[in-house]
Structure 1
């Protein structure tokens, strides 16, 4: 990307832009239907449209992209239909609704419950563990890419090396525990049904309306002090994350599910990120608390070896965030709560 997006239209086009590698890999996707489950969330729109555009670039007319959600925001469904993505309304917590879904050769599973689960842990268990079982039984022969989270790991010291895919998990709180449960449900399908599965442990995708950088920038613009309860983070450009999710359709494997950490290559100091944003936004930077020795981190070396580095590195993400806000760009009131260390969201 040579020019940073300056409007919502430019941003959404960029988030859905498939790279040449994805378009080439789409030539090998199985014919039939690609379902994007939970497409009404923060990442689903970009992934669904990117899949549609990759198929068009590949000259594939034998695959239909179908986005499934409850569609509490009807405007998203209208947008997707205009982009050539068919939309279906369904409550996927209802096994009958899952049973009524059309057959599919491939499934991207984005459904999850995080925020509000500290006060309603039953919702986390239902959405993150029971619902995936409905999906795996409905689509035992489909290739499935399921979004997970780096929260399944324990806290790590940046100086000691961040967790890799083969390292032990140590989830804290109902959200992280149930996300590991979701992984195990999909692993069960891989081993029991021979379902090809890829599990994507994502840490903090960013775009200028949402993410850790947006959280920090809004804090600075309000004149509030930045909380250093979390001292370091990994972040990654949302477009890159969307593309890696789709490229993992070709990595899904039966028996042993393919597992991938998805984040950027930098372990970024929260203090330094805030200072860089403060300089760009021309505001005073204040802090509260002291950074602890450990943070929630992931090592995405495997991801970068397979798919290359993000097309927007951290410095460019900071520039994009600052430029967006200085130009009056919209943001979403959906804080990541990245500073939480107790697993309660």
Structure 2
């Protein structure tokens, strides 16, 4: 295994590292028949996941599907030998016309902007999954979901387990339950093999909980700590495990919590970034006894511990911001507790 760098100097190095496949993924893909389609490849995690899949299995075709509204993304993916197809996933006929590869990663969804246009959120998070699950019923599908499908749980415990009843706050989170239920329905009725990945806060130096907290500390702005605890994971590790989960897809769906093993204190994160930046953090609110946290025991058992530990993520983030590294301008809103995004 390649050693981790002490710092990440530019976006090319960042994306190279984010898309580095593990030996386990390479071996998993060697035993997995068929090519791979990534639906919703245009999001924050999609491009490096697609590149990782191609690096893990150069002999497989990797097809990225999206509307491609971001300038230059299609060309970037093509430069990584990833085929691109423009498609509006709300268009049933367009989805039905897509090539039906043996393996699919579903990454489409809507979160921010949900308040005020809830109907579009439900269409994207529930109707689109139904369209896709029906069209790709013969494929093996890894579905990106979220830890937001759980209710808040006691921070003194181990976090929500995969078998906890799904009863979350807010319309967005409930629409995410709907997404899972659509894939579950087609898995149970059509025999579609599905894995459902309940991800909690992937970390890229350009966005994520660490980026949000570090940016606030650096700017002298208050860090909101009502939601004072969370789980985080290096985006490369998250993508790697999500891709490996294709081999675990089943009927009914295989369900996996995906994040880092630590219960991360937002207050402590802010204090660590304060040490890096030579600033005293300013806090707003008070830690609550319940939070959106998950138990990742099954993930560790099946896939091992993440390759990038939390202290290294903190160092990389501080170094990136200290050097003026680019931000995607997409805050996580981790502090939101009523489910209104």
Q: TM-score, normalised by structure 1?
A: 0.96
Q: Name structure 2 gaps, 5 residues minimum.
A: none
Which whole-Å CA distance do the structure 1 matches of 2:280 and 2:206 have between them?
22
CA contact (8 A) 2:152 2:168 kept: no
**2:238 aligned partner:** 241
Task: Work out the CA distance in 1 between the residues paired with 2:98 and 2:277.
Answer: 47
Separation of aligned partners in 1, 2:300 and 2:121: 31
SS of the residue 2:195 aligns to: strand
1:15 and 2:18 equivalent? yes
2:248 corresponds in structure 1 to 251
| Match for residue 229 of structure 1 among 226, 231, 249 | 226
Instruction: Give the structure 2 partner of residue 290 of structure 1.
Output: 286
1:115 corresponds to = 112
Distance 1:169 1:152 in 2: 6
Alignment gaps of 5+ in structure 1: none
In the alignment, which of 208, 214, 218 is matched to residue 211 of structure 1? 208
Kindly tell me the number of residue pairs found equivalent between the two proteins: 338
- 2:9 aligned with 1:6, yes or no? yes
Tell me the CA shift for residue 272 of structure 1: 0.3
User: Are 2:188 and 1:185 aligned?
Assistant: no
Within 5 Å, give how 1:196-345 maps onto structure 2: 196-254=193-251, 256-345=252-341
Alpha-carbon distance, 1:326 to partner: 1.1
Equivalent residue, structure 1, for 2:167 = 170
CA distance in 1, matches of 2:43, 2:233: 18
1:30 CA displacement: 1.6
Q: 1:99-178 maps to which residues of 2 (within 5 A)?
A: 99-178=96-175
Q: Alpha-carbon deviation of 1:5?
A: 2.1
Provide runs of 4+ in structure 1 moved above 4 Å. none
Quote the Cα distance in structure 1 between the aligned partners of 2:295 and 2:99.
37
Deviations 1:25-81 (A, max 9, x none): 1111222x311000000010011000001002xxxx3x3110000011131111110
